[in-house]
Amino acid sequence: MRIDVHIHHHDDEFRDDVIETLEALGVDLNKALEALMATLQEVLDLVTAEGTKEDSIIALLNGVKQQLADALANANLSLENQAKVDAVFAGLTANAGKLDAAIAANTPPAPPAPATPTP
């Protein structure tokens, strides 16, 4: 984004001073805007990378849960071992719930839809 400032004044000396000052300020504003845009891109890149990590963790948890369920599908477990298996499933579910809660807490709400003008 570029900001251009135009001032019209009849006093040439004053005008030149103002233009010089504003041009210097404009250059600084443009540099600041460029730096801000670069910073926003870095934040966007980090958010995207975190989303990929979270998706990978969720896929891993779901895969482990399914593998464990498949391995134990026809097994006769003691009550003690069944309690451990149940604890594993409960832990996996709780961890996925924590991830979901963290994502929900740190995801800004979608902007409201623009109002449709009525005729």
| pLDDT tens digits along 67-115 | 877 777 777 878 888 888 888 878 877 877 787 788 778 777 777 777 7
- d(C-alpha 69, C-alpha 63), whole Å: 10
Q: Which two tokens stand for residue 60?
A: 């891993």
Sequence ranges of the domains in the chain = 12-105
- pLDDT bracket for residue 34 (50, 70, 90): confident
Collect contacts of 17-22 with beta carbons under 8 A, ≥24 apart.
none
DSSP 37-66: HHHHHHHHHHHHHHHHHHHHHHHHHHHHHH
Model pTM score: 0.38
Q: Which two tokens stand for residue 105?
A: 């807490």
Residue 96 or residue 10, greater confidence: 96
